[in-house]
Structure 1
Amino acid sequence: MQGTVDGFSYGLVTPVVAYLMACLGGALGLRCTTRSLLVARSWRAGWLALGSAAIASGIWTMHFIAMMGFTVEETPIRYDKLLTFASLGVAIVMVGIGIFIVGYRGATGTALFTGGTITGLGVASMHYLGMASMSLNGKLEYNTLTVSASVVIAVVAATAALWAAGQVRGFLWSVGASLVMGLAVTGMHYTGMAALSVHLHSTSSTPVGDSTAALLAPMMIGPLVFLCLAGVVVMFDPLMVMGKPDWTPKDNKPGIPAHPAVPHPGSRPPLRPGRERGRRSSRTPQNW
């Protein structure tokens, strides 16, 4: 017996909120990745790690907000806590690997293809591992062709996003890229959901695990707080927002001050007009 699947039990509320979360995580992650390409190499890892966590948190939050609107009419749905946490960990690790490749090798050629593929597979792995965390009185079945399409969407979206992080410098262009990325990631999610069908078991049993409200709502507090903190970092770093490189001395030659108002170490203040260092005063004692 096939179950009656509904992915929009709250109407457009869950898809719209899920899309906004994907855009938020994508925007923060892209700005952090862009910022990593504009700083000294010693600081790059920190920005890339922040960007990876922001993108992964946004995608994971998007997924489970959308899952709050997913129901099967004939059976309650429960979630396994360990697998749910594992899906977030997989997203952070795989997205991080892809972003670090692009961050250190550049958003071109083989590095972009490799980083985009790993990041996209991380997004898809997070989605299907999150689906595997569901427990219900039935068996989940997937259409192979539709699943393949969802994975392709994830890889293409991730590659385009990483290309934008490496090429786009303007703030408005980055916002546009994050909107497209959010649309692609959300589209990947609902494409994957379209591949799902539920074959109900003949005997009725109570699924093991936590309910949607009891598990997902508290679990999303952490990623949401993290995204807010990452947003604060973006807001208070004008260079990250505008995508401009750090200021550096024009020629970086010895003897040139690091800042016009700060004298170079070892330099002496300029002499006043009419004075010479070491010159005796014009008023000298008379000889007796």
Structure 2
Amino acid sequence: MLGQKRTLGSILAVVLAGVLTACGGSAPPAAGPSAERSLILATTTSTQDSGLLDDLLPAFTQETGWGVKTVAVGSGQAIELGRRGEADVLLVHSPAAEEAFVAEGTAGRRLLVMHNDFVLLGPDADPAGVRGLPVGEAMSKIAASGAVFVSRGDDSGTNAKEKALWKDAGVTPAGDWYQQTGQGMGATLRVAAEKGGYTLSDRATYLSQPEGLSVLVEGDPGLLNVYHVIEMTKQAGERVQPEAGVAFADWITAPGAQQRIGEFGRAEYGQPLFVPDAGKPEPVP
């Protein structure tokens, strides 16, 4: 059954890890990953593009012995991988889609991890005149002006938020001015900058990959961006490793990882890129 199969890439990754260990001629250290302790994390491009995973995952492997194969896609695609039993754990930021998915009964715990916010970006000249406006009014003015808006169009958490903002503004985006990349946040930022267009981004990816765009709208309650970790169970597929999902969820919500999250980006950007939230009430707009 499709729901019980891993992707070919994930299988090859596990096999390759075993081959490399065998060829090394010596046993791996106790805390190191092995073919039997390699998990698949399906997560969003924002955690990858911001550099957060590069900071977190080596520490997770060192402390737990679980190696990690990361699949960085939009939140909708990450959830679909979980639904098909092709991931052990998810780290995503599309709350409505997450809640609907967990209600299906194939996932384990869904735990609050962190938040940051979305920002509306555009050229510094701001041809639509949206700087400093409430986000709903800004979206309406962009549509009315016909200024280029570049959407990810990839069913990601960011794309879901963008669609909700258009809906709240009473706009159905269509026409030459509305362009979709079908790509991740970093690539979409580059396209928006090249076209002198507007786009919606999570703040972390924008700060880590500035591409000639300016923050024009920020701080609006409707721009909150919340991340959860979701454990997968064998209800999704026999290949799922529930113990791996539990290990990752326990680790990323524990004080040590939460401290790392709270410090990430501070030295380089003068501010943390994410706010740790484990154990706190759910952030609400």
Give TM class, smaller chain.
Answer: under 0.3
TM score, norm. by length of structure 1: 0.25
Q: Which has the higher strand share?
A: 2
TM score, norm. by length of structure 2: 0.25
Q: Which has the higher helix share?
A: 1
Larger CA Rg, structure 1 vs 2 = 1
